[in-house]
Structure 1
Amino acid sequence: MATTTPPQGCGIGVSSLYYNLCDLGSAWGIVLESFAGAGVVASFVVLVVVLASLPFVTDKNRKNSVGLLVGFLICTLGLFGLTFAFIVGKNLSTCAARRFLFGVLFAGCFACLLMQCVRLNLLARRGQGPRGWALCLGALGLWLVEVVINTEWLIITVVRYPLPPLNATAALGVATDTPCNIANVDFVMALIYVLNLLLAVVVAAVPALTGKHKQWRQAGAFILLTGLLSAAIWVAWIVMFVYGNGKKGGPTWDDPTLAIALVTNAWVFLILYIIPELCSLTQEEEEEGQPGFGEDLYPSRGVGYETILKEHSGQNMFMENKAFSMDEPNSGNKPVSPYSGYSGQLRNSVYQPTELALISKGRVNGNGLHRKPQW
């Protein structure tokens, strides 16, 4: 039985299936696994942070998007993990994972982004978005379409009508398994639905930038930028995978092309959408037209208090004016004797008991003047 010498950087006991993970001669595998491993750790940390910050989300409009964000994070984590299937060699398991999960994971990401665009469009125009369970059901329905397509595609091409070996690079006998016998054009054609989802994300993100509620435009701008960069990445890898590899590098460039596309697009998702969405998750946005903190916080209570003050001040002024009118002598009256007109003044005026007593003793006249009795 012939044995092969392991490349530089790989030990003797390492299987030839994993040479790309340690081969120093082809550094693309080591570089990509480093970026993919860092992406797995970062996605898991962000997922934990999102779940931990859920009790602190007070805005119901932002809380409704947590379900979509968690689903998007899980799919992004899967993209980083799927990169290792394209770095290692081909066998039955890795080829089946490549063909099935590539479209399924991207469809999950784009379905969540599309439902986020629907949510932002409603928020930007009406100020109120749909409920979280409705958004999750919509994303789940869009994602299940791709699951059905890929499942049917695998059943038809692998079980019922297996194709003959297409690649002649199976010197070790690991690339002749049926799931690996797929042409590059067929692999791309199976992703037509995913491309439609990507196009829908770009188109649906534009109206969110023109709504009357401006606080949601930033999230729409990040989704639009994410969709545009993802579209550019997809155009680049499809052109390279279908045309460039056949003319320049051959089949040996297929795995690096797809692995680079996975890692690059996953990091675009993480940096341009997930992190900004996480930073704005716990923000408390004030609605337009609503009073700020400390400004007319209890308007009805303030109005009542001011009304009471006005009524109280009015009563005081009335009492003061009344007392002033009682003490002030009439300008038309002439000076009279202190003993004259008591009966008439008593009938026309109201006096306190002490004033009546003083009047009776002759110390206070009817006009409120203190005078000694004249005997």
Structure 2
Amino acid sequence: MAANVTPQGCGPNVGSLYYNLCDITVVWGIVVEAFAAAGIVFSFVLFIALLASVPFMQDKTRKNSVGVLACFLVCTAGLFCLTFAFIVGKDFSTCASRRFLFGVLFGGCFACLLMQCVNLNILVRRGRGPRAWVLCLGAVGLWLVEVVINTEWLIITVVRHPQGPLNSTAGSDRATATPCNIANKDFVMALIYVMTLILAVVVASLAVMAGKHKQWKKDGAFCLLTSLFSVGIWVAWIVMYVYGNQRRGGPTWDDPTLAIALVANAWVFLTLYTIPEICCLTSDGDSQQGFEENLYSNRGVGYETILKEQSSQNMFVENKAFSMDEPNQASKPVSPYSGYNGQLRSSVYHPTELAVISKAVRNQHPLDSTSNMIIPRASTNSAASSGSSTPTIPAENGNTAYTHNGNSGNGLHRTTQW
């Protein structure tokens, strides 16, 4: 590059600052670039899938964590994009973005994870979590602390090494090297707050596993695995960046170390937390809704059955009491005129002409207790002596009947028909 020799794989119009992106001899740059580009695309797809699944989420407690998860995805995509700043060469803009955005983006990811762990701790103990705006406000508050720290650190660093005149070679070199001229230990020390967030996520995710509501422990396990893998990655790159590179590879290994750490940790965020969490947001809500519907429907059937049984028992008791008050009757309603055999039935409720006549006869000529009550029937017989018709009440089967005679004093006399 110093001799203006274009490396193999790069075109003549490519600047020397971007040789690591196309130089086929720099294997780590091409591999890291490929993983970073794939991570950006995958993060965008997951973000669209998360937003598209919001209308289909039935569980409100899970829907409250959508905002935090969306912020987490944005910060993860930012980590993939920041990887390209470590692949390309160093200048004022790339070094400034490296020093500032490294802690800010990681701080945003772990702040969202910590608030999700806080949400899970509340859910696993009370069954009801905070609202979505509370979680987002807490994540933003934790993230702003790292923003303030990195901003102050970057300003102090630049002010301590002021820029020289741009037309001066030394000044331009100092201007180019000012953000990059920072010791590795100073860079790591500026990330102490991010390390504190990582340890807080580990402790909070462990506390989730001690709750009583088991349906939320699966989400806590995702946070725990993500935080443990992140701890391993951070320990590896810090040891390599502070001690290993100085003894083994020199400063040329600094950029590959940070770029690989960014890509590895970002993919851990996607595979161990984001994808399982999005799956839980949709599948668990549907299954829980189906479970609640079945539960409520079964309860409704049970209540309905109990009400029916109670009502039938009450009706049976009332009918039984009503039947005890009433006189004994046939099981089926019988017409007062059905099966009439010539005798007066006591079940006649409405008086008829025959009933009126029989009552009058009883009043005029009461019978003894041994005699039978006969239903009178009207008949017409001719009288030979008087030449007039006399209405007669015949009797059936040779029994006694009453005949009306116009010449008698009382109008009725007793006759016998054989």
Report if aligned partners of 2:163, 2:175 keep a CA contact under 8 Å in 1. Answer: no
For 1:36 and 1:149, locate their aligned partners in 2 and report how far apart those are by CA, in whole Å. 27
1:310 — aligned with what?
Answer: 313
| More moved, 10-19 vs 252-261 | 10-19
Equivalences for residues 276-291 of structure 1 within 5 A: 276-282=276-282, 283-284=284-285, 286=288
Displacement after TM superposition at 1:111 (Å): 0.4
Confirm or deny that 1:249 pairs with 2:252: no
Whole-Å Cα distance in 2 between the matches of residues 212 and 90 of structure 1? Answer: 52
Q: Tell whether the 8 Å contact from 1:286 to 1:292 is kept in structure 2 after alignment.
A: no
Q: CA deviation at 1:207?
A: 1.2
* Residue aligning to 1:334: none
The match for 1:214 is 214
1:73 aligns to what? 73
Distance verdict in 2 for CA 1:119–1:297, change over 3 Å: farther
Correspondence for 1:55: 55
Paired residue for 1:368?
none
User: SS in structure 2 opposite 1:296?
Assistant: helix
2:47 corresponds to which letter in structure 1? L
Q: What's the counterpart of residue 122 of structure 1?
A: 122
More RCO (CA 8 Å, sep 6+): 1
Secondary structure, counterpart of 2:271 in structure 1: helix
1-structure distance, mates of 2:175, 2:260:
21
SS of 1:13's partner is coil
User: Aligned letter for 1:310?
Assistant: Q
Instruction: Give the TM-score taking structure 1 as reference length.
Output: 0.82
> Match for 2:200: what amino acid?
A
- Aligned equivalents of 1:92, 1:99: Cα separation in 2: 11
Equivalent in the alignment of 1:152:
152
Q: Distance in 1 between matches of 2:35 and 2:324?
A: 87
In the superposition, relative to structure 1, how do residues 324 and 225 fare at CA in structure 2: closer, same or farther (>3 Å)?
farther
Distance in 2 (CA, whole Å) between partners of 1:276 and 1:202 is: 18
Pairwise CA RMSD of aligned residues?
A: 3.3
Q: What amino acid sits opposite 1:192 in the alignment?
A: I
User: Once structures 1 and 2 are overlaid, which stretch shifts more, 107-116 or 304-313?
Assistant: 304-313
- Structure 2 unaligned regions, length at least 5: 165-171, 332-341, 359-372, 376-395, 400-418
Gap change, CA 1:203 and 1:12, over 3 Å in 2: same
Shift of 1:54: 1.0
CA distance, structure 2, for counterparts of residue 227 and residue 94 of structure 1: 28
Is the CA contact (8 Å cut-off) linking 2:161 and 2:178 kept in structure 1? no
Question: Structure 1 or 2: larger strand share?
Answer: 2
The alignment partner of 2:107 has SS state of helix
- 2:134 match: 134
Q: Is the 8 A contact 2:111 2:197 kept in 1?
A: yes
Correspondence 1:162-241 to 2 at 5 A: 162=162, 176-241=176-241
Q: Distance in 1 between matches of 2:234 and 2:151?
A: 22
Which residue is equivalent to 2:334? none
Other structure's SS at 1:11 match: coil
Q: State the identity %.
A: 59
- Which letter does structure 2 place at the counterpart of 1:267? W
Unmatched tracts of structure 1, length 5 or more: 165-171, 329-337, 363-370
Q: Label 1:15 to 1:286 Cα distance change in 2 as closer, same or farther (>3 A).
A: same
> Secondary structure of the equivalent of 1:292?
helix
Match status 1:94 vs 2:94 = yes
| Offset, 1:317 | 4.6
The letter of the residue matching 1:96 is A
Q: Distance in 1 between matches of 2:263 and 2:106?
A: 12
- Corresponding residue for 1:4? 4
Cα deviation for residue 106 of structure 1 reads 0.3
SS in 1 for 2:299: coil
> Which AA in structure 1 matches 2:100?
F
Aligned CA distance change for structure 1 residues 114 and 339 (closer, same or farther; 3 Å): same
Aligned length: 341
Contact 2:29 2:87 in 1 (8 A): yes
Contact 1:157–1:163, Cα closer than 8 Å, also in 2: no
Deviation, 1:268, is 0.3
* Contact 1:90-1:175 at 8 Å conserved across structures: no
Partner residue, 2:30: 30
**1:216-239 Cα shifts (integer Å, max 9, x gaps):** 000000100000000000000000
Q: Name the CA distance, whole Å, in 1 between partners of 2:28 and 2:175.
A: 20
**CA shift in 2, pair 1:352/1:61, >3 Å:** farther
